[in-house]
Amino acid sequence: MDCRFYFNDNKGEKSYVASADETVSVVGVMSYYKKNNENLTVFLVAKGHSSLDNMKLISTRVLEEEGDWDVFENIIETAAVQSNPFNVKYAHDFRFSFKSNGFVYFLFSRKLNSHNHKNFTFISRICEEDHNYYSYTELQLNCSAGNEFSKVLYGPISAHDEVLFATFSNEDDNSAMCMYPLKFIDAQIYKVIDACYNHGGLINNQLAVYSPYSTSNSKPEELCSGTRGMEKCGAEHLPSPLASKAEFALVAEPSWTHGRHLTAVAVAVEMDHAVAFLGTVDGQVLKLHLSAQPKVYGQPLSSTSRHKVNKNLLFDSSLQHLYITTDKKITKVPVQTCHLMTDCHSCVQVKDPYCGWCVLEGRCTTKQACSRSAETNAWLWSPNGKCVEIAAFDPPNISCKKTNQVGENPSKESEQSFSDETPSFI
């Protein structure tokens, strides 16, 4: 460890953030807390159940000493989602958290009750300025219409178009990746809240909501009785957090399926094309071009370890390297190795969306590295599978003292395509 920002071991359990149980996942996101008209920087944390430490499902941790508060102490104690019995009942497994447009989101899987051991995936949302979690709402996410893949593993948000990418697994350890545009998530959460505020908990005359963290015996139709003004982030939210019924889950068809266990996903955008890097249980990272028909390309990236890739697949600041993390090791690998392809045919055959053949320089490069890539046919994109070679000139020779138009004649034998498209040349 190069730098220790803070260390204190005498503040007791109130300052503990991570679990003493290494199998319990903890996620968090930086936020703020208003006190005396000032914003204090806080860490909004979600943690799964463990019998070894405190069981606050969600907590707000202060990051600096303030009055009687110690560093990392939880400063919210009244929220319904902090109640211990629900942590045991649902066995939450948090995988990721992020912020967007004034909301904080948590991605996790949990059981529906203490009698059903199957995990289902949810995303919860609270208003960032709602320090008491009154606006906490859960939405079930299904990957495939039949919800064959039910347990979420990991999914970060794409900064380019705000799409949530998540990998799921089923009981047979088959995996799938689904994509959820954030605007669809928000729209469905709005429907759930609106159903309770203004329609007695019904959508199309069907009960759409329930209260998973209520200690009372109130039925959903009683909880949602009466008409309220719709306040997106005000203090007039319902006294108990809401969740969507399974029938009103947000459903997405798998973008890609895999016969083995996927453990992580990170997504980058190169030349307006999305590329997913998918961690596996045996320490590899598959590279998936998210085209109309997504396909794995090239050789898998390796962590030099056979241990499973954990959820923390991270890009460096340039987006040109990926950090692969396992339980024992962190490995930094480049996202592309275009330079290793020494001729056009090998360059386009790999179908790497990062790569293309730089015709005038005679090398395989990224588009940015090809000096005249903006010119037509000067940089041949690898997934297009096209190569061109100049076989002859017409006329074949000309005096250096004479000016004339020279025409190019590509050799038909030298044209090669590794796709279903027909090569065209100018």
* Domains in the chain: boundaries: 13-259, 338-384
Look at 10-24, 378-392, 399-413 and tell me which has the smallest mean pLDDT. 399-413
Confidence at 157, pLDDT banded by 50, 70, 90: very low
pLDDT at 333 over 50: yes
Mean predicted confidence (pLDDT) in 20-29: 85
Confidence at 398, pLDDT banded by 50, 70, 90: confident
pLDDT for the residue numbered 107 = 95
Question: Do 13-259 and 338-384 share a fold?
Answer: no
Confidence at 159, pLDDT banded by 50, 70, 90: very low
151: which 2 tokens? Answer: 């347990």
- Contact at 8 Å (CB) between 243 and 212? yes
Going by DSSP bridges, is the β-strand pair 242-244/209-210 parallel, antiparallel, or unpaired? Answer: antiparallel
- Contact at 8 Å (CB) between 264 and 279? yes
Give residue for tokens 């178009």.
Answer: 161
Neighbouring C-beta atoms of residue 147, cutoff 10 Å: 18
Q: Residue 142 pairs with which residues in a beta bridge?
A: 251
- Of 3.90.1010.10, 3.90.550.10, 2.60.120.330, 2.130.10.10, the CATH number of 13-259 is 2.130.10.10
Look at 75-79, 157-161, 239-243 and tell me which has the smallest mean pLDDT. 157-161
The dihedral region occupied by 204, where left means phi > 0, alpha psi between -120 and 50, and beta the remainder, is left
Distances (CA, A) of 299 to 100, 263, 302, 337, 342: 35, 18, 9, 10, 16
Sign of CA dihedral 42, 162, 96, 105: positive
Mean predicted confidence (pLDDT) in 282-301: 92
Residues 6+ apart with CB under 8 A from 17: 26, 28, 43, 45, 47, 59, 61, 72
pLDDT for the residue numbered 409 = 53
pLDDT for the residue numbered 317 = 94
Largest CA distance in the chain: 98
Q: Residue 181 pairs with which residues in a beta bridge?
A: 163
Averaged confidence pLDDT in the chain: 81
- Contact at 8 Å (CB) between 171 and 158? no
User: For 273, phi and psi rounded to 5 degrees?
Assistant: -115, 130
CA-nearest of 45, 231, 199 to 127 is: 231
CA-nearest of 188, 57, 189 to 126 is: 189
Q: Residue 358 pairs with which residues in a beta bridge?
A: 363, 379
Look at 265-279, 382-396, 402-416 and tell me which has the smallest mean pLDDT. 402-416
Sign of CA dihedral 119, 136, 246, 256: negative
In the CATH scheme, what architecture does the domain 338-384 have? 2-Layer Sandwich (3.30)
